[in-house]
């Protein structure tokens, strides 16, 4: 897809213009997209194989995947809305940052964006996988 986030902006306005020819301009975005897809395949395979080792059926693994995706999108969306409203009400929150010393954008500080991603992907995502697993195991017993 096309976006205006930090990484999309870096690809569009920093990396692509530095390439030797306009023919090569799509390559940074292409490789970013392929890299993202590859990581989703790798992590999906890892989780799928872990669930296979736990003796879950394809139906149960599919159930866990759907429930996890739904919960992350739903509850993650709620978290983003709440944080957005808090930033509108208290703009100082958006200025909070602990420098990391890393010069790479989005990794240069622990800020509200970093905390949002860690909370949504880390806390909501992992807890959704665990909760979905428990639900799928209960489906076996029924």
Tell me: the pLDDT tens digits for 11-57? Answer: 777 888 888 988 888 888 888 889 989 998 999 899 899 999 988 88
- Residue 125 pLDDT > 50: yes
Residue 2: band (very low, low, confident or very high) from pLDDT cuts 50, 70, 90 = low
Mean pLDDT taken over the chain: 87
pLDDT at 128 over 50: yes
pLDDT at 100 over 60: yes
At 1 the pLDDT is 46
User: Whole-model pTM above 0.85?
Assistant: no
Q: What is the DSSP letter of 13?
A: I
Distance (Å, whole) CA 38 – CA 32: 10
Cα-Cα-Cα-Cα dihedral sign, residues 77, 79, 82, 87:
negative
Mean pLDDT lowest for which of 1-10, 73-82, 113-122?
Answer: 1-10
Q: How distant, in Å, are the alpha carbons of 37, 46, 104, 119 from that of 43?
A: 10, 5, 24, 18
pLDDT of res. 141: 73
Q: What is the pLDDT of residue 85?
A: 95
SS3 66: helix
Q: What would the mean pLDDT of 110-131 be, rounded to a whole number?
A: 89
More confident residue, 8 or 58: 58
């Amino acid at each position: 897809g096309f976006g205006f986030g930090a990484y999309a902006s870096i690809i569009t306005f920093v990396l692509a213009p530095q390439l030797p020819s306009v023919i090569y301009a799509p390559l940074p975005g292409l490789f970013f997209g392929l890299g993202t897809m590859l990581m989703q395949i790798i992590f999906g395979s890892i989780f799928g194989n872990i669930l296979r080792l736990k003796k879950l059926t394809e139906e149960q693994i599919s159930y866990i995947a759907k429930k996890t995706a739904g919960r992350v999108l739903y509850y993650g969306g709620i978290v983003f809305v709440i944080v957005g409203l808090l930033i509108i009400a208290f703009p100082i929150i958006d200025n909070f940052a602990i420098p990391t010393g890393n010069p790479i954008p989005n990794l240069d500080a622990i800020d509200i964006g970093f905390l949002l991603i860690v909370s949504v992907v880390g806390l909501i995502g992992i807890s959704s996988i665990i909760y979905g697993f428990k639900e799928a195991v209960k489906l076996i017993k029924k």
